[in-house]
């Protein structure tokens, strides 16, 4: 992906020894889907921006998986998105799960757009003493110059008209795809976004390396499983606490490649 974003740069040797993401089979992956973005209510403040509730659930599932396996803390993870509407959706969805950090600029923008009531939720800022324990949420525009061990990018747009919006901007693409140190995961409609020149190159590069598909590959000690999307439903198992350690070859061959949790657990009992 670096060759697409910065074709004349070379990786410094200090980057070669960076840790992989132990609980994932891939350091870079695009979860591809075609679930439509939300239809805004014209009477709501969210009508001013775009959101995708399906992507929120996929991303939250990935965050919970990373944290629940004790390999990462919330502070190691950043969720990026181009849209205030999606940022507000993540804020609402995660506010009861963990402490959240938003930049002052993003926070003020959400308040100005009527997407956030400052009295409803405590959000850490740069001066908050607990910033080292917080999950970071940010719009791409306000994450320039920052980085994170794991970055999850929610692209949001998914519509039959092929509208890509903010994702056409090369600078946003550069920032969105170059902030991760150890693991980078994209959730979005690849066939739609591929219509933009730079995204076309990124999607093709990932496809050529087998790094794009309808689910995430979850690494277990004895095998790899593939979880994500089935018939428009986000599927996330509690792997460490609910799934017996058993070789993948013991699963019935008739099971689909993407396995709903209940099917998997029933097949292993």
Concatenating the DSSP letter of every residue in 7-36 gives TT----GGGTT----TTBS-SEEEEE--PP
- Compute the Cα dihedral for 213, 214, 215, 221 and give only its sign: negative
Distance CA 53, CA 111 (A): 20
Out of 3.40.50.2300, 2.40.420.20, 3.40.50.300, 1.10.3720.10, the CATH code matching 2-11+20-238 is: 3.40.50.300
Q: Could you state, in order of their start, the residue ranges of all structural domains in the chain?
A: 2-11+20-238
DSSP structure class, residue 260: -
Distance CA 185, CA 177 (A): 9
What is the per-residue pLDDT across 38-95, written as a single tens digit (0 to 9) for each? 987 776 666 678 999 989 988 988 898 888 878 899 999 999 999 999 999 999 999 8
Strand partners, 227: 216
What is the per-residue pLDDT across 209-221, written as a single tens digit (0 to 9) for each? 999 988 888 776 5
Angle, helices 84-94 vs 53-68, to 10°: value is 50
pLDDT at 236: 56
């Amino acid at each position: 992906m670096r060759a697409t974003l910065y074709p004349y740069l070379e990786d410094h040797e200090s980057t070669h020894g960076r840790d992989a993401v132990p609980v994932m089979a891939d350091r870079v992956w695009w979860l591809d889907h075609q679930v439509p973005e939300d239809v805004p209510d014209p009477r709501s403040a969210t009508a001013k921006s775009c959101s995708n509730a399906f992507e929120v659930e996929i991303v939250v599932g990935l965050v919970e998986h990373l944290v629940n396996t004790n390999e990462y803390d919330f502070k190691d993870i950043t969720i990026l998105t181009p849209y205030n509407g999606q940022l507000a959706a993540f804020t609402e969805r995660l506010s009861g799960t963990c402490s959240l950090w938003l930049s002052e600029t993003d926070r003020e923008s959400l308040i100005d757009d009527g997407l956030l009531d400052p009295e409803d939720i405590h959000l850490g800022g740069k001066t908050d003493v607990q910033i080292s324990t917080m999950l970071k949420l940010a719009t791409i525009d306000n994450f320039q110059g920052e980085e994170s061990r794991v970055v999850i990018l929610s692209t949001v747009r998914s519509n039959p008209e092929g509208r890509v919006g903010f994702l056409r901007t090369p600078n946003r693409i550069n920032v969105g795809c170059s902030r991760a140190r150890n693991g980078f995961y994209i959730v979005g409609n690849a066939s739609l976004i591929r219509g933009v020149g730079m995204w076309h190159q990124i999607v093709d590069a990932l496809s050529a390396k087998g790094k794009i598909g309808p689910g995430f590959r979850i690494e277990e000690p004895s095998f790899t499983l593939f979880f994500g999307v089935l018939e428009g439903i986000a599927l996330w198992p509690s792997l460490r606490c609910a799934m017996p350690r058993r070789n993948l070859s013991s699963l019935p061959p008739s099971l689909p490649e993407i396995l709903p949790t209940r099917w998997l657990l029933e097949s292993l009992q």
